[in-house]
Amino acid sequence: MRGRVIAILLAAVAACQAPSATGSAPAVNIDALRWLDPSADPVAHLTVQPATCQTAPVSPSAQRGALLFSSPLLLGGQAAKAGLSCASCHRNGRGNSAFLFMGISGAPGTADVTHGLFSTVRADETFNPVPIPDLATAEGRTRVDREQAGVLETFLTAQIVEEFSGTAPESVVIDDLAAYIRTLDTAACAPNTIEAQSWRAELSLLRAGLIAPDVRSGSYKDAMRAALGRLYERYPGQQHADLRTDLIQLSRVLADGNPPEDIGQTLDQLAEQLAGAEAGSLYSPEVLSRALR
């Protein structure tokens, strides 16, 4: 499992070292493109997303839940191999109308979560994709009761283990995920608003990992490394060589399971680097659209 993040990083390094036919335009190697409806606008899809709709206050547990929600390594089997996380389908806890995964989706925005590709436990024989619910809406709350203590927790454990062939997570992981999901509510944001995708969101996720009960615990560490991998995807090419080296270095430090005391400062420095290089990164719609040409 842990090998995957390294494999992604190595693949990304290789892709960027290959001579580019377009000269200075960096190679775009962003995972999310692999489950994107080809008729959707990739620049819009990769630079904006449905707005965050969370009721305040967002507890440390809910912040950690957001980190876990974006971690492919929480899921097992084919879903994890493909790099899918909860957030791939529920972008920012919402829906994803452009989700199109070969064999799993029918129309864009749908998924068959009882498909044998993800798990044999819940697999049924029929191809029955359904729309991916926006978890912040009333319609995204029909299948599982969030109010009654323990019900959402039981659902999430079963979902990870049975639907996505994951290993049963520790109870703190489930509690954090449940806390995050409970904050999602469209009452906390204007309808149909979108927000820019940014390195800032990844940095908040990384910071949330530092308040984990045990940063060395596998799930948080994996989730933090996945966030670093997503930053790595957005800063390609030679011009970001130093930043990329630092991201790999930080990922290694986390992998070793012994993050130094001053890792918070390391993240502050990283934030400065990311901000400084933002205009030339693939978070910029102009740079991205040039690179995708």
Residues of this chain that bind ligand HEC (CB under 6 A):
74-75, 79, 84, 86, 88-90, 104, 111, 113, 130, 132-133, 135, 140-144, 156, 159-160, 177, 181
- Note whether 172 and 213 are within 8 A (CB): yes
- Note whether 56 and 188 are within 8 A (CB): yes
CB of 104 to ligand HEC, least distance (A): 6
CB of 94 to ligand HEC, least distance (A): 11
Ramachandran angles phi, psi of 118, nearest 5°: -85, -40
Q: Residue 195: in which H helix or E strand, if any?
A: strand 194-196
List, in sequence order, every beta strand (DSSP E) within 36-188.
Answer: 48-50, 110-111, 130-131
Output 133 or 218, the one with its CB closest to ligand HEC: 133
Q: Which long-range contacts (CB under 8 A, 24 or more apart) does 3-7 make?
A: 4/72, 4/73, 4/80, 4/81, 4/83, 5/73, 5/222, 5/225, 5/226, 5/228, 5/229, 5/251, 5/255, 6/251, 6/255
CB of 141 to ligand HEC, least distance (A): 5
Q: Is 196 helix (H, G, I), strand (E, B) or coil?
A: strand
CB of 125 to ligand HEC, least distance (A): 16
Output 159 or 197, the one with its CB closest to ligand HEC: 159
Q: Encoding tokens for residue 242?
A: 């130093």
DSSP 90: S
Q: Encoding tokens for residue 170?
A: 């520790």
DSSP 130: E
Q: Residue 68: in which H helix or E strand, if any?
A: helix 60-69
CB-nearest residue to ligand HEC: 86
CB of 111 to ligand HEC, least distance (A): 4
Output 75 or 247, the one with its CB closest to ligand HEC: 75
Ramachandran bin of 100, using left for φ above 0, alpha for ψ from -120 to 50, beta for the remaining angles: beta
Output 100 or 274, the one with its CB closest to ligand HEC: 100
Output 27 or 30, the one with its CB closest to ligand HEC: 30
Output 96 or 281, the one with its CB closest to ligand HEC: 96
Output 86 or 203, the one with its CB closest to ligand HEC: 86
Q: Encoding tokens for residue 2?
A: 């842990």
CB of 210 to ligand HEC, least distance (A): 22
Output 14 or 130, the one with its CB closest to ligand HEC: 130
CB of 8 to ligand HEC, least distance (A): 17
CB of 38 to ligand HEC, least distance (A): 18
DSSP 92: G
